[in-house]
Amino acid sequence: MSQTREYEFTTKQFKAFQTLIMEHTSIVISDEKEELIYGRLTRRLRKLGMTSFDDYYNLIANGDSEELEQFINVVTTNLTSFYRESHHFDHLKNELIPKLLEQNAGTKKLRIWSAGCSTGEEPYSIAMTLMESISDIHTWDVKILATDIDSDVLAKASAGIYRDDRIEGLSDETIKQWFKRGKGKQEGFVRVAPELQSLISFKQLNLLKEWPVKGPFDVLFCRNVVIYFDKPTQKILFEKFAGVLSAHGQMCIGHSETLFKISEDFELLGQTIYKKCA
Ligand SMILES: C[S@@+](CC[C@H](N)C(=O)[O-])C[C@H]1O[C@@H](n2cnc3c(N)ncnc32)[C@H](O)[C@@H]1O
């Protein structure tokens, strides 16, 4: 145990938390992450005025639903950004949207799911791409479902307010069109345009539990989420994703993820872009 630690945290306790995290989120915490988990859980102990990890473990294991939510929130990794892995948005704009506008011309319906949306940059990037690519979007029934297990990130996502360094790197045109800079007390923050927000429904959803989603979805983004799950969990998840995608549905996954030896329901179309098999 490190001498500098504020609380005692034994390897046995760490292992017990690894199991608890797996049970509630399916996230696999490797042995190297002991320090990270210690740091994140310490925040909760301090907040609750607790002095022992055993007491905190018992609180969660005994099913304290309020703290379980906070526990899940601190163990998730929420790294994201606007237009992260920008080739997916190029594909959406140049290939997929033109195809969908033709294929769905009868229903004029588009359904997109951003699964593991974190603080919202991903679904807002999808919304900007749709708004910029579909000139008569107001005549279409477009819905983006954006879900995450973590209630803190969802609150930030639906508020749509970001520190202005989050939009550094976006073009002046994009910023002018879709973001409003705060003044006075809001200086240093930007707010996304309400038109983008109106396309998106943010909902809490644990991917490893029941999905109260309708579908079928034309496009699914599940990027940098399954990397935290083990292979058997990934297999179950992608089978379920195939089940909620439309016959011509496509799916984007994260840069270090693959469906190789995980799922045969999808065919590779491009870099981390898949199409559901016919
Ligand atoms: C690294 S972020 C990825 C955000 C975004 N998709 C991107 O690529 O920029 C991973 C997100 O997956 C969420 N997550 C982790 N386990 C989950 C689960 N079991 N169900 C739903 N979301 C989960 C986390 O809360 C986190 O916000």
> For residue 4, is pLDDT > 90?
no
> For residue 257, is pLDDT > 70?
yes
Q: CA-CA distances (angstroms) from residue 84 to 45, 51, 88, 145? A: 34, 40, 8, 18
Tell me the average pLDDT of the chain: 96
> For residue 155, is pLDDT > 60?
yes
Q: Tell me what percent of the residues of the chain surpass a pLDDT of 70.
A: 99
Is 25 near ligand 1, meaning CB less than 6 Å away? yes
Report CA(19)–ligand 1 centroid distance (Å).
Answer: 19
Q: Are 95 and 129 in contact (CB under 8 A)?
A: no
The single-letter code of the amino acid at 13 is Q
Query: Mean pLDDT over residues 213-240, rounded?
Result: 96
pLDDT score for 121 = 98
Is 254 near ligand 1, meaning CB less than 6 Å away? yes
pLDDT score for 3 = 57
Report CA(77)–ligand 1 centroid distance (Å).
Answer: 7
Q: Tell me what percent of the residues of the chain surpass a pLDDT of 90.
A: 96
Query: Mean pLDDT over residues 65-72, rounded?
Result: 95
pLDDT score for 170 = 97
> For residue 206, is pLDDT > 80?
yes
Q: How far apart are CA 46 and CA 79, in angstroms?
A: 24
Is 272 near ligand 1, meaning CB less than 6 Å away? no
Query: Mean pLDDT over residues 15-37, rounded?
Result: 96
Query: Mean pLDDT over residues 258-262, rounded?
Result: 95
> For residue 8, is pLDDT > 90?
yes
> For residue 254, is pLDDT > 70?
yes
Q: Give the β-pairing of 217-222 and 245-253.
A: parallel
Is 149 near ligand 1, meaning CB less than 6 Å away? yes
Cα Dmax for the chain: 67
Please tell me whether the overall predicted TM-score, pTM, comes out greater than 0.85 for this model.
yes
Q: For residue 208, which atom of ligand 1 is closest to its CA?
A: 19
Top mutation candidate among 117, 162, 225, 238 for ligand 1, by most atoms within 8 Å of CB: 225
pLDDT score for 195 = 98
Look at 274 and 4; give whichever has higher pLDDT. Answer: 274
| Six token digits for residue 21 | 């995290």
pLDDT score for 5 = 86
> For residue 150, is pLDDT > 90?
yes
Q: Are 128 and 200 in contact (CB under 8 A)?
A: no
Query: Mean pLDDT over residues 211-231, rounded?
Result: 95
Q: How far apart are CA 228 and CA 22, in angstroms?
A: 10
Confidence class of residue 163 from pLDDT cuts 50, 70 and 90? very high
Report CA(28)–ligand 1 centroid distance (Å).
Answer: 13
Confidence class of residue 278 from pLDDT cuts 50, 70 and 90? confident
pLDDT score for 214 = 86
Report CA(21)–ligand 1 centroid distance (Å).
Answer: 14
> For residue 72, is pLDDT > 70?
yes
Query: Which of 15, 16, 150 is closest to 72 using CA atoms?
Result: 150
**Catalytic residue list:** 40, 148
Top mutation candidate among 148, 158, 207 for ligand 1, by most atoms within 8 Å of CB: 148
Is 226 near ligand 1, meaning CB less than 6 Å away? no
pLDDT tens across 83-118, in order? 999 999 999 999 999 999 999 999 999 999 999 999
Q: For residue 153, which atom of ligand 1 is closest to its CA?
A: 27
